[in-house]
Chain A
Amino acid sequence: MSELLLVCPAIIFLAGFIAPTLRGLLGDRAGYVLSLAPFAAFGLILSQGGLINDGEVLHYSFEWFSSLGASLDFRLDGLAFLMAILITGIGGFIVIYAQGYMHGHPNLGRFFLYLLSFMAAMLGLVLADNLILLFIFWELTSITSYLLIGFNHEQKESRWKALQALLVTGLGAMGMLAGFVLIAHVTGTWQISEINNLGELLQASPLYTGIVILVLIGAFTKSAQVPFHFWLPNAMAGPTPVSAFLHSATMVKAGIFLMARLNPALSGSGLWEYTLAIFGSLTLLLAMFLGLFQRDVKSILAYTTLGVLGVLTMLLGIGSEYAIKAMVVFLIGHALYKATLFMVVGSIDHETGTRDVTVLRGLRKLMPITAIAGGLAALSMSGLPPFFGFIGKELIYKAGVMLSGPELIFLVAALVGNLVMMGLALKAGVGPFFGKPNHEALPKKPHEAPWTMWIGPIVLAVAGLLIGIFPFWVTEYMVSPAIAAIKGTEVVHLDLALWNLVKPNLPLLLSGITVLGGIFVFLLRARFWALSERVLTVIRPYGAEAMYERIFNATIWFSKAQTRWLQTGRLHDYVLMIVVVTVGLLFWAISSYGGWSFSVDWAEFDVLIVGLVIIMIIAALLAVVANSYMTVLVALGTVGFGVALIFAYYGAPDLAITQLLVEMLTVVLFMFVILKLPKLKTLSKKATRLRDLIVASSFGAMMTVLLLKAISIQFDGAISEQLAEMSYPEAKGKNVVNVILVDFRALDTFGEIVVVATAALGIAALVAAGLKKGKGASKA
């Protein structure tokens, strides 16, 4: 039974991989077939509802890299169940919708591949019970969302925005990974369900503050909290089905999910609670402020999504009974109405050719079904009874009025946020459909969207209405178990009936204020639009996005500068750099470990060797001052053969033979090119030559010291003795050098011959370039 936790992401991945082929075979209709995968997963997970309702969990584990603690641990508890239902249920409709929206697009198959891969990654993310596994899925969602946002990759802006989303969430994920490592270090396990039982241990650790900060960097970047909020509205560059799925219902909730997932382990210290509540409320207020001035329906929705993410974070921070309840309810409600609204906007855009709210008007007669879906969703978003959004908003106020002292500021934030959000909801979901039609102003003559494009919105919108009227449909299976998972307690069943909430008390009064204020904002919408340009140009240079751009450009500048400095393209500079760095590191290493003292046993050097070395020194000096290649070649050859003789003298025949052969071949190869080279001339300035002299001499001196130290240190003889002893019995060879090369250390040798082969290919490329150049020159 528990295998289904592996099967569900797997079938969606599989559907993604066959999508391009299937599109080729079936055309656009492939979308119907592909949507079966998420719907099947939806069914499989839903079938576990009874289990979840009983407060049980489903666990599946498969050993993967057990030594690294990374095993395929999947776990279905209340929170995972809730998220999985939303991902697969909404995901199925999105696939159908995308088929209509991207009808006839040449790369539709590729689009489905990205979309389904993302869906599977997201599903894996919420089901994962292992930090490493969660991280892998997390990164997979980042990468697939990068591909989805940048789907219209012919547009520069699209690529830039996709990259922005990837960089922000990717960098955040790096922080999060560090946080995970610290968590595992403190608790000794990677398994999330175990970690959640070790909250006290974590909070007693001195690393706790660091863990919270690092994990939150990951969560805040993914869920677009201040100051990382800017990428989310920009991510609207992707096709609308992407926005509807990733940037409302699923991916941006990954950060919220992570915080909720680790809430039992990390909450309770005050640090966690206040950080979440403060950043959440700031995000809410900023998003609402910026949202007021937006004219593109999709942007309006993007900012309200941002606001909702702020609300969810804030509620998690407040952390009281009501707050968590409100958070879960709000999360479900938001997923339903926001996905609907995005799809509605997509349909409007698709049918009219514009998303500008100042132009869109009176579409209700032409697009009745879309209008109904949009209206229902907007009302739910406004938090009017009997929609599910109302229950969410009431619970927020219930949680808010229980706060006291300075914490009441969060209630004020929630009130202001909800009020503006209602105004924006009406603006986006109702505005385009009412009023006097002005079809002439539209780029395209509008008509109702095809059924593939209204089925999803209408189903989700009606679902938002039905579960508002009959909340017990979801409270038992989804809300209560999710709350238990977030709080780390047993499942307590609760009653969310609408009629229990409609009582003359403070929360209801606040709701009333919200409704009036929201309508007020809606009526004043034209005022805000008129101010739009002015306000946005004033604040933009001080915003987080401007900061991002500055950092981004500075990074590029730094990268270019250091490339110019280090990669000059002149061989001389590269050699100089390598030598100087080597000398520096050796100097540091010898000074800090071992010191400069060494002893030399002069008796080891007899007359023959001393004479040989003197000849080699003279040859080397000759090579430096010579002014013909031939002399240089002969001089260097002398040094090389001298080395070979030294090897032979001290009983290393293998090395001596190799050295001789290499010397010989070098001479031969050099002879080929010697005639083609320009005459040797001194081109460098005196100062340069002096510098090179100093660098070269210090390198020589350093190597000398190193060698002298090497022979004066008594190494542990056991290694070489043991190798020599093992050579014959274990490897059936008497030549230890060869046995080490081809048997004991064969893998190293294999690596070396791969390097040799690669170098040869490099030479081929250089020579080919040289030949081409020579031909060009001879033609000219």
Chain B
Amino acid sequence: MKYFILIQASRILFPTLLVLSLIVLYRGHNLPGGGFIGGLMAATAFILMGISRSMEQAKRALRIDPVVLMAVGLLVALVSGLPGILAGAPFMTGQWLPGFSLPLIGKVHLGTPLVFDVGVYLVVIGFTLHTTFSLAQLAHVDEELEN
């Protein structure tokens, strides 16, 4: 069964949650947030779409297999450790670009810890959605929505 309110709400909440998750991811270094929380938020956006419309649609919106997403996340996290080695320091030593300022956002510090956090973000999204999709398939959620 489909619920009108849920569908309409998800239409607005989906992009909002995604943007919010990115903000949380970025600001994590200085304020509460980070890759783990951001990842969970982003996954929530897709789950919301899944239970309001269909899991198929959520999968299509994700565009990429969650397992692949996890793999990419692991790779990103791993690669973020390499600049440390190149700089002659131990693996995963943080390396930073010189700070600069942007309008709206203010002072920006970009460095490998942020890249690492992006990796965590992707793995968490992949894990949560992979689990959700699997369980939903097992529970025939889409068929229930159809009826």
A: residues with CB less than 8 A from B are 653-654, 657-658, 661-662, 664-665, 668-669, 672-673, 675-676, 730-735, 737-739, 741-743, 746-747, 749-750, 753-754, 756-757, 759-761, 763-764, 767, 770-771, 774
CA distance A669 to B41 in the complex (A): 15
B58 on the A face (CB < 8 A):
no
Q: What residues of B have a CB within 8 angstroms of the CB of A732 in the complex?
A: 29, 94, 96, 99, 109, 111
Q: Which of B32, B70, B109, B141 contacts A654 (CB 8 A)?
A: B32
Q: What residues of B have a CB within 8 angstroms of the CB of A750 in the complex?
A: 77-78, 81, 92, 116
B102 on the A face (CB < 8 A):
no
16 residue pairs A–B, Cβ–Cβ below 8 Å: A657-B33, A658-B37, A668-B132, A669-B135, A672-B138, A675-B139, A738-B117, A739-B29, A741-B34, A753-B73, A757-B127, A759-B127, A760-B67, A764-B67, A767-B135, A774-B138
Given contacts A661-B41, A742-B113, contact A761 B137 (CB under 8 A): no
Smallest beta-carbon distance B135→chain A, Å: 5
Q: What residues of B have a CB within 8 angstroms of the CB of A737 in the complex?
A: 34
Verify A735–B28 contact, CB threshold 8 A: yes
Verify B134–A749 contact, CB threshold 8 A: no
Q: Which of B29, B73, B135 contacts A734 (CB 8 A)?
A: B29
Smallest beta-carbon distance B30→chain A, Å: 4
Smallest beta-carbon distance A293→chain B, Å: 63
Q: What residues of B have a CB within 8 angstroms of the CB of A735 in the complex?
A: 28-34
B91 on the A face (CB < 8 A):
yes
B40 on the A face (CB < 8 A):
yes
CA distance A112 to B85 in the complex (A): 41
CA distance A733 to B26 in the complex (A): 11
Verify B29–A733 contact, CB threshold 8 A: yes
Q: What residues of B have a CB within 8 angstroms of the CB of A675 in the complex?
A: 139
Q: What residues of A have a CB within 8 angstroms of the CB of B120 in the complex?
A: 741-742, 749, 753
CA distance A743 to B112 in the complex (A): 9
CA distance A746 to B92 in the complex (A): 7
Verify A665–B43 contact, CB threshold 8 A: yes
6 A-B pairs with the lowest CB-CB distances in the bound complex, closest first: A653-B32, A733-B29, A767-B134, A661-B40, A734-B30, A672-B139
Query: Is chain B's binding surface mostly helix, strand, loop or mixed?
Result: helix
Among B81, B128, B134, max chain A CB count under 10 A is at: B134
Proximity string of chain B (59-97) to chain A, C-beta cutoff 8 Å, 1 when within and 0 when not: 000000011001101100110110000000001101010
Verify B116–A771 contact, CB threshold 8 A: no
Q: What residues of B have a CB within 8 angstroms of the CB of A653 in the complex?
A: 32
Among A734, A738, A743, max chain B CB count under 10 A is at: A738
CA distance A761 to B71 in the complex (A): 11
Verify B130–A753 contact, CB threshold 8 A: no
Q: What residues of A have a CB within 8 angstroms of the CB of B32 in the complex?
A: 653-654, 657, 735
Q: What residues of B have a CB within 8 angstroms of the CB of A757 in the complex?
A: 70-71, 73-74, 123, 126-127
Verify B29–A760 contact, CB threshold 8 A: no
Q: Which of B34, B109, B111, B126 contacts A738 (CB 8 A)?
A: B34
Please report which residues of chain B, range 35-51, place their CB below 8 angstroms from some CB of chain A when the two chains form the complex: 35-37, 40-41, 43-44, 47, 51
Verify A770–B138 contact, CB threshold 8 A: yes
B131 on the A face (CB < 8 A):
yes
Given contacts A661-B37, A733-B30, contact A753 B134 (CB under 8 A): no
Verify B35–A742 contact, CB threshold 8 A: yes
Verify B135–A672 contact, CB threshold 8 A: yes
Q: What residues of B have a CB within 8 angstroms of the CB of A753 in the complex?
A: 73-74, 77, 119-120, 123-124
Smallest beta-carbon distance A751→chain B, Å: 10
Select from chain B the residue with minimum beta-carbon distance to A765. Answer: B134
CA distance A763 to B32 in the complex (A): 30
Q: Which of A669, A741, A746, A749 contacts B131 (CB 8 A)?
A: A669
Smallest beta-carbon distance B62→chain A, Å: 15
CA distance A105 to B134 in the complex (A): 49
Among B36, B111, B130, max chain A CB count under 10 A is at: B36
B136 on the A face (CB < 8 A):
yes
CA distance A759 to B131 in the complex (A): 10
Verify B67–A738 contact, CB threshold 8 A: no
Q: What residues of A have a CB within 8 angstroms of the CB of B111 in the complex?
A: 732
Verify A760–B113 contact, CB threshold 8 A: no
Q: A750-B81, A763-B134 are in contact. List 20 more A-B contacts (CB 8 A).
A: A661-B37, A672-B141, A732-B29, A732-B99, A735-B32, A735-B33, A739-B113, A741-B120, A743-B116, A746-B94, A750-B116, A753-B73, A757-B70, A759-B127, A760-B66, A760-B70, A760-B126, A767-B134, A767-B138, A774-B138
Q: What residues of A have a CB within 8 angstroms of the CB of B113 in the complex?
A: 731, 733, 739, 742-743, 746
Q: What residues of B have a CB within 8 angstroms of the CB of A764 in the complex?
A: 67, 130, 134
Q: What residues of A have a CB within 8 angstroms of the CB of B73 in the complex?
A: 753, 757
Given contacts A757-B127, A764-B134, contact A654 B78 (CB under 8 A): no
Select from chain B the residue with minimum beta-carbon distance to A658. Answer: B37
Smallest beta-carbon distance B39→chain A, Å: 9
Smallest beta-carbon distance B89→chain A, Å: 12
Select from chain B the residue with minimum beta-carbon distance to A670. Answer: B135
Given contacts A657-B37, A734-B31, A742-B35, contact A665 B94 (CB under 8 A): no
Verify A742–B134 contact, CB threshold 8 A: no
Q: What residues of A have a CB within 8 angstroms of the CB of B30 in the complex?
A: 733-735
Verify B138–A664 contact, CB threshold 8 A: no
Q: What residues of B have a CB within 8 angstroms of the CB of A730 in the complex?
A: 94
Verify A767–B34 contact, CB threshold 8 A: no
Q: What residues of A have a CB within 8 angstroms of the CB of B77 in the complex?
A: 749-750, 753
Verify B117–A742 contact, CB threshold 8 A: yes
Given contacts A747-B91, A747-B92, A760-B126, contact A673 B137 (CB under 8 A): no
Q: Which of A665, A676, A742 contacts B139 (CB 8 A)?
A: A676
Verify A672–B116 contact, CB threshold 8 A: no
Q: What residues of A have a CB within 8 angstroms of the CB of B28 in the complex?
A: 735, 738, 742
Select from chain B the residue with minimum beta-carbon distance to A677. Answer: B139
CA distance A636 to B74 in the complex (A): 32
Select from chain A the residue with minimum beta-carbon distance to B30. Answer: A734
Q: What residues of A have a CB within 8 angstroms of the CB of B128 in the complex?
A: 665
Smallest beta-carbon distance A170→chain B, Å: 35
Verify A754–B137 contact, CB threshold 8 A: no
Given contacts A664-B44, A672-B141, contact A738 B29 (CB under 8 A): yes
CA distance A770 to B96 in the complex (A): 47
Smallest beta-carbon distance B1→chain A, Å: 13
Q: What residues of A have a CB within 8 angstroms of the CB of B91 in the complex?
A: 747
Among B29, B99, B124, max chain A CB count under 10 A is at: B29
Q: What residues of A have a CB within 8 angstroms of the CB of B126 in the complex?
A: 757, 760
Given contacts A673-B138, A746-B92, A767-B134, contact A756 B127 (CB under 8 A): yes
Verify A760–B130 contact, CB threshold 8 A: yes
CA distance A653 to B32 in the complex (A): 6
Select from chain B the residue with minimum beta-carbon distance to A728. Answer: B30
Verify B70–A672 contact, CB threshold 8 A: no
Smallest beta-carbon distance A659→chain B, Å: 10
Select from chain A the residue with minimum beta-carbon distance to B84. Answer: A746
CA distance A644 to B127 in the complex (A): 22
Smallest beta-carbon distance A265→chain B, Å: 40
Q: What residues of B have a CB within 8 angstroms of the CB of A746 in the complex?
A: 80-81, 92, 94, 113, 116
Verify B35–A661 contact, CB threshold 8 A: no
Smallest beta-carbon distance B96→chain A, Å: 6
Select from chain B the residue with minimum beta-carbon distance to A768. Answer: B134
Given contacts A665-B44, A757-B126, contact A673 B67 (CB under 8 A): no
Smallest beta-carbon distance A744→chain B, Å: 9
Verify B94–A760 contact, CB threshold 8 A: no
CA distance A669 to B46 in the complex (A): 13
Q: What residues of A have a CB within 8 angstroms of the CB of B124 in the complex?
A: 753, 756
Smallest beta-carbon distance B94→chain A, Å: 5
CA distance A771 to B140 in the complex (A): 10
CA distance A764 to B77 in the complex (A): 23
Verify A743–B94 contact, CB threshold 8 A: yes
Smallest beta-carbon distance B139→chain A, Å: 4
CA distance A750 to B79 in the complex (A): 11
Q: What residues of A have a CB within 8 angstroms of the CB of B123 in the complex?
A: 753, 756-757
Given contacts A654-B32, A756-B124, A764-B134, contact A731 B139 (CB under 8 A): no
